[in-house]
Structure 1
Amino acid sequence: MMLPNSAQEDDTFVWTVEGQPCGEFSASKTWEALRPKESEKEWADLVWFKGSTPKQAFHMWLANLDRLPTRSRLASWGMNIPITCCLCGVSEETRDHLFLHCQFSQVLWKAVLQKLKLPQTLFTDWRALLAWSKDFNPSSPKTLRILVVHAVVYNVWRQRNNIYHNQVSIPPLTIFRDIDRLIRNSITARRNLKSFRNLMALWLS
């Protein structure tokens, strides 16, 4: 290989990603080439979907991975704290109890299912909730169900923290009004997306 000299052409550089030349540097292509990759999880579209609210999706992601710092998890880390649920004060505060089995959460699910004109359902575990989220019918398409699940999870966790940190208790039906407002705002903000166009009429019917 000969060293360049002034008599030869000017040096040039080419960005290549995985052996393919790019016209210019691309941060997204470089990140895709460098980042660790795994197969797509079956729950991915229930957490990260077009039209999701980032802070609600983030909480749903943590809840789905069972990484929220519930009292049960905090105690398992060695913290000397009671493990009873902040919302009901009866059962151990685990993810499934907090979001599915707690009396506080069940009031919210009852109100949600009544709003959607669906049969009252008791979610036995987190998998049952995800299965319900994937299901659909003309009155409650998948996008609307996912919006509801995100809003419930976000608001239950927020209320749990409100009690845990501030000792402020708010009745569940008051929290449901917050959920209702969040869902309306989400639908209104994304009304131009195809999957959101008919959701307001379904939610308000």
Structure 2
Amino acid sequence: MIATITLIPAPVDTEGDDRYVWRHGEDKYKPCFSSVKTWEQIRMQHPTVAWSKIVWFPHAIPRFSFITWLTLKDRLSTGARSRAWGCIQACLLCGEPDETRDHLFFACPYYFTVWIDLVGYLLGSHVNPNWSITIASLLSSRRKEIDTCLLKLTFQTTIYSLWRERNSRRHQGHPQSAAHMVRIINKLIKNRISSLRHRRPSFYSDMMQCWMGHTT
């Protein structure tokens, strides 16, 4: 430490008073603080994953995005994860003894019934209960912007709502039918589109018409 200190030149009065500067990058300093630049320097950098576009996009609802991120990372407290703690949990919706992420989304008959009812008109024959196939289908770039936005928004809303229903049943809540869950998710999506209409009135009006055309 002493050797390092001695290498620093002593202050010189002719250079003016000392001042604070904030690091914005490699050998780049500015008098203003930037939380973005600071975060980029202290965080652990990782390659961008392909599914990030499904989680983080302008139309998403933050709490839905967070649960979707946990799902894609396979970090939800499913029965498969709780088994490591000595707690055996079967799927409460269909009785499957191995409650995994891939089973819930969307191999479980209850979950798949809700999912296909919501996105069947958008995905058509590509609706599949397999998790990997579903993610690959959502990442396809061969769709219109409105269809892509609706699919990602529906995906997140469905995951959030169905996971909430699963937890409600786990804690002795009143079970909801698949048809009722579809109505709940439908309302959440319409409310989200309405809240975004001020950004691009024409675009979100078309999105609402597209969604309403299906639900009607």
TM-score, length of structure 1 as denominator length:
0.87
1:96 to 86, 99, 102: 102
- 1:21 match: secondary structure: strand
**1:171: Cα distance to partner?**
0.4
| 2:206 paired residue number | 198
After the TM superposition, which segments of 4 or more aligned residues of structure 1 sit over 3 Å from their partners?
1-8, 135-140, 192-197
1:177 aligned residue: 183
CA displacement at 1:139 relative to structure 2: 9.5
* Unpaired stretches in structure 1, ≥5 consecutive residues: none
Match of 1:10 in 2: 17
Per-residue deviation, residues 103-162 of structure 1 (Å, max 9, x unmatched): 111210231134x36525452522211122223545962111001111111111011001
Could you state the TM-score of these two structures normalised by the residue count of structure 2?
A: 0.83
Tell me the equivalent position of 1:46.
54
1:123 and 2:128 aligned: yes
- For structure 2, the 5+ residue unaligned runs are 1-7
Percent pairwise identity? 30
Take 1:8 and 1:48, find their aligned partners in 2: how far apart are those partners?
47
For the 8 Å contact 1:46–1:133, the answer to whether it is kept is yes
The aligned amino acid for 1:31 is W
SS of residue in 2 equivalent to 1:16: strand
Distance 1:150 1:106 in 2: 14
Could you tell me which amino acid in structure 2 is paired with residue 106 of structure 1? F
Choose between structure 1 and 2: higher helix proportion. 2
Select the residue among 29, 40, 46 that pairs with 1:21: 29
Q: 1:32 to 1:58 in 2, by over 3 A?
A: same
CA RMSD across the alignment: 2.3
**Is the counterpart of residue 145 in structure 1 residue 133 in structure 2?**
no
Matched length: 202
CA distance in 2, matches of 1:113, 1:25: 45
Counterpart of 2:167? 161
